A = this chain, B = another copy of it.
Amino acid sequence: MTAQPHPERAGVPPSCAACPAFHNRLCYALTQAIAGEPSANEPHDHSALARRSIWREGERLDRVPVICQGWAATAIAMSDGRRQILSFLLPGEMVSAVLIHQPVSQCSVEAITDVRFRMFPRAAIKDALLRQPDLAATVTKLWTDEAARADRLAIDLGRRGAAERIASLILNLADRLQSRGMMQGQTMDFPLRQHHIADAAGLTVVHVGNVLAEFRRGGLIDINERSLTIRDASGLRRVADAD
């Protein structure tokens, strides 16, 4: 996680011991917001090892988690072992805004890298929402963004081919990392295994491997030792938006 200091960091106090980079505005905002609430108690900081499940579908959560460090994923599993990853979670993202109002998680969350995350007491968040209009606006934004992401996922899975899906997954991650100051030029830390990509794109591992090899041969990307470089951004975009 070679996070660079965020350009806006200057002059703003860091808030969360687990969040070395200031890109984690959300963690900051929530920590501040609940501090003054009558129902408040301290947020809890946790960590999880790579490849471990953080919690499972159907588990009850009385606290709402925000990722501070590392990558995680939300997924749904079927009883026969098939899995669908719904989203990759980067530092500064709430696992799901729905959890603010719904104590039972409908999808499991697992750590991709080692992960540190902060759990905010639900009751305090709900109280703060009633009193603090800008927190409410923040949460509304999270909600609409999640809905947009879900819709995009549906059209990806329903109507796009393997190469399109994988290319746009890569571009999407690159954008999100860029906005966090976590890209070094065209290169990013890329902890995803092929099976993560497969489960996110609704494909088999083998096929993902083939498509990535194709991208590599076509000079679109380079992948080595947990990092990915976009060699031909416009070519990759062309593959992604075969509209």
Contact = CB atoms under 8 A, between A and B. Distances in A.
A201 B159 CA distance: 9
A243 B80 CA distance: 5
Interface stretch (A148-156, A177-185, A188-196): A148-156
A97 to B, nearest CB: 9
B78 A143 contact: no
Contacts of A82: 155, 159-160
- This protein's copies in its complex: 2
Interface string A88-131: 00000000101001100011000000000000000000000000
Q: Of A84, A86, A106, A146, which is in contact with the most chain B CB atoms at under 10 Å from its CB?
A: A84
A155 B243 contact: no
Interface string A49-78: 000000000000000000000000000101
A159 B243 contact: no
A202 interface: yes
Interface size class of A (residues with CB under 8 A): 20 to 34
Contacts of A80: 242-243
Interface string A127-143: 00000000000001001
B151 A107 contact: yes
A237 interface: no
Contacts of A79: 243
B98 A143 contact: yes
A98 B147 contact: yes
Nearest to A79: B243
Contact of A106 (B76, B86, B107, B148): B148
Interface of A: 76, 78-80, 82-84, 86, 96, 98, 101-102, 106-107, 140, 143-144, 146-148, 150-151, 153-155, 157-160, 201-202, 242-243
Going nearest first, the 10 A-B pairs with the smallest beta carbon separation are A158-B202, A150-B150, A157-B157, A84-B155, A79-B243, A84-B158, A82-B159, A157-B158, A101-B140, A102-B144
19 contacts: A76-B151, A76-B154, A78-B159, A80-B243, A82-B160, A83-B159, A84-B155, A84-B158, A84-B159, A101-B144, A102-B144, A147-B147, A150-B150, A150-B153, A154-B154, A154-B157, A157-B157, A157-B202, A159-B202
